[in-house]
Structure 1
Amino acid sequence: MKLTMDPARAAEFEAIFADRQEAIRHYPGCRHLELWKDRSHIGVYFTYSIWEGQDALDNYRHSPLFAEVWAGIKGWFTGKPEAWSLDDRTPRLQ
């Protein structure tokens, strides 16, 4: 997910993410979670997560944990959040 927010809130966002990341990582169905920061644009972040399936992701998106995190940061966005669901097509060695 790409999140573009007020640069003045970047440090606060990073603190919230650091505080909640373990809870998100341990949410049922979450296999992996990372936060990436754009090198050139302060306030532009990408979250990278792997979920067991769409149902697991949807359950998280409708959870009190998501609502709490989202309520705390949604007013900081300067651009519309963008999300992509992708399938891994990396060839595996036999």
Structure 2
Amino acid sequence: MLIRYVKMTFHKEKVSDFLEIFEQSKEHIRAMEGCRHLELMRDINQPEIFMTHSHWLSENDLNNYRESELFRDTWSKTKVLFADKPLAFSVESVLVV
């Protein structure tokens, strides 16, 4: 299982635009082959900072999503709202306690 985090910082006046984009795309992302979990989180002290947290069966599944028309369309609408460069990373669970 691959776990993906993407941290995004938006211009304060663009946060509602991003939330609308996410609302419109979340179920389509969840329906992508290999996606097992998707959630959106928000920083409690900096409300313009969000992080997506998703689980994928494999890196191939994540890459297929990232190469899809859905991703291209969603990302093109989202990236113009950024106040800072996004940070994305993939991890795997090593130990669950």
- TM-score, length-scaled by structure 1: 0.92
Q: Which structure has the higher relative contact order (CA within 8 Å, separation 6+)?
A: 2
Do structure 1's residue 32 and structure 2's residue 37 form an aligned pair?
yes
More strand by share: 2
Which residue, out of 3, 12, 29, partners 2:8?
Answer: 3
Do structure 1's residue 70 and structure 2's residue 75 form an aligned pair?
yes
| % identical aligned pairs | 36
> What stretches of structure 2 of length at least 5 have no aligned partner?
1-5
* Structure 1 residue matching 2:83: 3-state secondary structure: coil
Offset of residue 91 of structure 1 = 3.1
Letter in 2 for 1:61: R
Aligned equivalents of 1:24 and 1:3: distance in 2?
A: 17
Which residue, out of 74, 83, 88, partners 1:83?
Answer: 88
Equivalent pairs counted in the alignment come to: 92
> What stretches of structure 1 of length at least 5 have no aligned partner?
none
* Structure 2 residue matching 1:91: 3-state secondary structure: coil
Offset of residue 18 of structure 1 = 1.0
Deviation per CA, 1:12-40, whole angstroms, max 9, x where unpaired?
11111111100000011111000001111
Q: CA RMSD in A?
A: 1.1
Q: Runs in 1 of length 4+ with deviation above 6 angstroms?
A: none
Pick the structure with greater CA Rg. 1
